[in-house]
Structure 1
Amino acid sequence: MTIPQTMTHVQANGTGGPEVLGLATGPVPVPKPDEVLIRVQAAGVNRPDVIQRQGHYPPPPGASPILGLEVAGEVVACGDQVTTLAIGDRVCALANGGGYAEYCAVPAPQCLPWPAGYDVIRAAALPETAFTVWANLFQHGRLAKGETALVHGGTSGIGVTAIQLAHEFGARIYATAGSDEKCAACLRLGADAAINYRTRDFAAEVKTLTEGRGVNVILDMVGAPYMSRNVRSLALDGRLVMIAFLQGSKVQDFDFTPVMVRRLTITGSTMRPRTTAQKGAIAADLRAKVWPALDAGRCPPVIHATFPLAEAAEAHRLMESSQHIGKIVLRVE
């Protein structure tokens, strides 16, 4: 196909609310030697996109300033060093930025094939949550078969994937959510128990559910207000993995004694600043361990809503409302 010189993309006109987002025209990116150019057909919407729009999550050096961290579509050009992909391949990819656009350049190691039977919407909903959950719950958190995990925000994109993959790999999984409806959704996804954090104390519920032992791993995106209760909810040698601070990152008067006495690990990570090699290693792990389950029809993404690219602002409003269950995806075609 002929690649145009310009494309339509979503532009943030300054920082602020969803209203700063609008369509613009700009140059089609030129792939670097280790990159492929993807004709984007769908792009996932994620919480980091919202934080970037607000001015609190700037792209790393060299990354596109355009929002969007996951895409799905067709490879239309390859850099000189790319040997693993070819023009015409259908891929989904963890982008370093630039996903809300008709074309996006992505390092080849960060691309994965569409799972068997997937359409472009479902493929676009995979990369950000799959990379994040695999790296944090399974690599940093070392969740193993037979262990128990607590996932906060069980109906978020991250939460849905965490529940599904923990269940797939033989762990017992508990989740928190903000309504009885969302708790029911967590149970349908494979959670063994779901806790409405608005009406119940999750630490007390975990103590009851585990007969006082606590859970082995906690995946948390809330932050400071949950720290003490998270620590109380962990078993001996438990691991607390932080992936976001939606309600703050600073804790006052925190007692570290239980961390020492029960040999706890507090860790966390961000995905975007990692190198291509590091993200490529996660992609290889996903291809070997998670993609077979997707190919077999298990652990499919839950799509809450789709919007045309021109309505990115509406997609962000929905994301910020936290009324969604699962993923929000932009249709680019």
Structure 2
Amino acid sequence: MLLTGQQLPALQLLNEESCSSATSCLQDKMLAAFFDAPGGPETLYVKELAKPAPKEGEVLVKVEASALNRADLLQRRGKYAPPPGASDILGLEAAGTVVELGLGADGRWKVGDKVMALLSGGGNAEYATVPAGHLMPVPPGMSATDAAAIPEAWLTAFQLLHFVGKVQKGETVLIHAGASGVGTAAIQLCRLAGAVPIVTAGSHEKLQTAIKLGAATGFNYKEENFGEKCLKFTNNIGADVILDCVGASHWEKNLQCLNTDGRWVLYGLMGSGEIHGDLLAKLLWKRGSLLGSLLRSRSKKYKEELVKAFTEQALPHFIAGGPIQLLPIVDSVFPLHQISDAHQRMEDNKNTGKIVLQMPQ
């Protein structure tokens, strides 16, 4: 069992008083990412906790790999609490094996199935409980580390494009953070839908990755006015849909290049949420729609419908040999005990694609 830093003593070790035998106690325990108080990546460590039990309609998954999302960083800082009833453990997606079925969850899944899961929390641990309708089969031949990079990022991108943005064939979609997990998924899903993806990113290397995945062009937001560049690329028509995880720092350029009757889909505030300027007048002049969307707080039914639609429309394209190949992009893989290093990499915006956590074997 590998642990790091000054938090090692905080691990709740087994002892004879708490367990009748080490074997029976170990069966009820698991390792999970943990932090005692909000703060930076250095607050994270690995702790032994009680293994969850599946409730009615739930499945218990032995997690092989999980992945990081910006929501995890916000939760660690104390700025994004889990929804009511969700696990306090970090992690919004995971891949692994079904090991137990709760009452009423034995319709589609069986013990031994390889699955990937959309979670409201609890993924950065050796075990996680999941509503049966929030599971998807791992595509044949795909590793757990690749599968763990799919649920949250790809379902978010699919939701933003289809459920919220109502993207249509031939439309132009401007995707901010084009080399992120959601960005790399959105590029490929745009191509699958017959739309034209264009992106912003903060480095030449990230733009090149986005273009290799199918982006028609890309703009370095640190060096260029992406609003002007987008208008030039679209012959002054602009973007029909904007997927925006940045917010305030991009709002003027977003409106500059938003097409008339365009849809600006806001799903994050990496660049602040405090607007200074006449946003409403400019949005009204464009007859634009500003649509806010979060996935984590959606209802169980909504998520089930999203998982079902994605499973039917997109998941088959992850299987090698199809006419359109979708690929999860993994930036790096960290063992669970290096979770603080994984968070620091995302905090520093060094990742292209998903940062994955591998559980102890």
Partners of 1:304 and 1:133 lie apart in 2 by: 18
Partners of 2:318 and 2:287 lie apart in 1 by: 36
Q: Which residue does 2:215 correspond to in 1?
A: 191
Deviations 1:56-101 (A, max 9, x none): 0111111110101100000001111112211111100011111111
| TM-score, scaled to structure 2 | 0.90
**Are 1:32 and 2:69 matched, yes or no?**
no
1:155-194 maps to which residues of 2 (within 5 A)?
155-194=179-218
Farther off after superposition, 75-84 or 3-12: 3-12
Following TM superposition, by how much is the alpha carbon of 1:209 offset from its aligned partner in structure 2, in angstroms? 0.3
Identity of aligned residues (%): 38
Q: Which residue does 2:11 correspond to in 1?
A: none
Q: 4+ runs of 1 displaced by more than 4 Å?
A: none
Partners of 2:261 and 2:99 lie apart in 1 by: 48
Query: Is this contact kept in 2: 1:228–1:254, CA < 8 A?
Result: no
Following TM superposition, by how much is the alpha carbon of 1:254 offset from its aligned partner in structure 2, in angstroms? 2.0
RMSD: 1.2
| TM-score, scaled to structure 1 | 0.97
Deviations 1:131-180 (A, max 9, x none): 11111122111111111000000001111101111112211111001011
Partners of 1:77 and 1:12 lie apart in 2 by: 28
Q: Which residue does 1:75 correspond to in 2?
A: 98
Mind listing any 5+ residue stretches in structure 1 that lack a counterpart? none
Query: Is this contact kept in 1: 2:250–2:271, CA < 8 A?
Result: no
Following TM superposition, by how much is the alpha carbon of 1:258 offset from its aligned partner in structure 2, in angstroms? 3.3
Q: Which residue does 1:313 correspond to in 2?
A: 340
Q: Which residue does 2:264 correspond to in 1?
A: 240
Partners of 1:80 and 1:293 lie apart in 2 by: 32
Query: Is this contact kept in 2: 1:10–1:312, CA < 8 A?
Result: yes
Query: Is this contact kept in 2: 1:303–1:326, CA < 8 A?
Result: yes
Query: Is this contact kept in 1: 2:95–2:144, CA < 8 A?
Result: yes
Following TM superposition, by how much is the alpha carbon of 1:36 offset from its aligned partner in structure 2, in angstroms? 0.3
Q: Residue 354 of structure 2 is aligned with which of 307, 327, 333? A: 327
Partners of 1:219 and 1:31 lie apart in 2 by: 35
Q: Which residue does 2:162 correspond to in 1?
A: 138
Query: Is this contact kept in 2: 1:175–1:194, CA < 8 A?
Result: yes
Partners of 1:64 and 1:29 lie apart in 2 by: 10
Q: How many residues align?
A: 332
Compare CA radii of gyration and give the structure with the larger one. Answer: 2
Judged with a 3 Å threshold, the aligned counterparts in structure 2 of structure 1 residues 187 and 57 are, in CA distance, closer, same or farther, namely: same
**Are 1:65 and 2:88 matched, yes or no?**
yes
Q: Which residue does 1:21 correspond to in 2?
A: 44
Query: Is this contact kept in 2: 1:13–1:22, CA < 8 A?
Result: no
1:254-265 maps to which residues of 2 (within 5 A)?
254-265=278-289
Partners of 2:348 and 2:50 lie apart in 1 by: 33
Query: Is this contact kept in 1: 2:260–2:287, CA < 8 A?
Result: yes
